[in-house]
């Protein structure tokens, strides 16, 4: 490790929203050309998994060279890994559109 405060610690210090944490982790891992993180929670108000204040249902569109040559499953797994178990388990729904 490089001694820099990474991931959860730094995010907590900055009091980041889930949307910001998703963006930060994906930027750090993939240096994407395109990154769009949309909080779709309001569309799911009243449905299972809706949480007060939103940030439960996300739609992410990401394009990065890092995904070249990877299968669909491998791309999704890479995104899951970059987000980390803690963040993935906080989110009720995560729609991913991934391209290279």
Partner 1 sequence: MSAEDTIRKTVTENDVVLFMKGTKSMPQCGFSSRVAGVLNYMGVNFADVNVLADETIRQGIKEYSDWPTIPQLYVKGEFVGGCDIVTEMTLSGELDTLFAENGIAFDKDAADKIREANA
Each residue of 54-79: b (16+ CB within 10 Å) or e? bbbbbebebbbebbeeeeeeebeebb
List, in sequence order, every beta strand (DSSP E) within the chain: 34-39, 57-63, 93-99
Contacting residue, 14, 47, 86, 100, with partner 1 by CB under 8 A: 47
Does the protein bind partner 1 through residue 1 (CB under 8 A)? no
Contacting residue, 24, 76, 78, 90, with partner 1 by CB under 8 A: 76
Of the candidates 81, 2, 38, 22, the one whose C-alpha atom is nearest the C-alpha of residue 11 is: 22
Q: Closest approach of Cβ 95 to partner 1, in Å? A: 6
Does the protein bind partner 1 through residue 12 (CB under 8 A)? no
Q: Closest approach of Cβ 96 to partner 1, in Å? A: 5
Q: Give residues in contact with partner 1 (CB under 8 A).
A: 47-48, 72-73, 76-77, 80, 85, 88-89, 93-97
């Amino acid at each position: 490790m490089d001694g820099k405060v990474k991931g959860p610690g730094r995010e907590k210090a900055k009091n980041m929203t889930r949307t910001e944490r998703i963006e930060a982790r994906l930027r750090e891992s993939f240096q994407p050309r395109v990154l769009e993180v949309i909080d779709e929670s309001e569309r799911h108000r009243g449905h299972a998994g809706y949480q007060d204040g939103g940030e439960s249902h996300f739609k992410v569109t990401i394009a990065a060279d890092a995904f070249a040559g990877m299968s669909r499953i491998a791309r999704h797994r890479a995104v899951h890994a970059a987000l980390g178990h803690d963040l993935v388990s906080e989110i009720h729904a995560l729609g991913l559109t991934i391209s290279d």
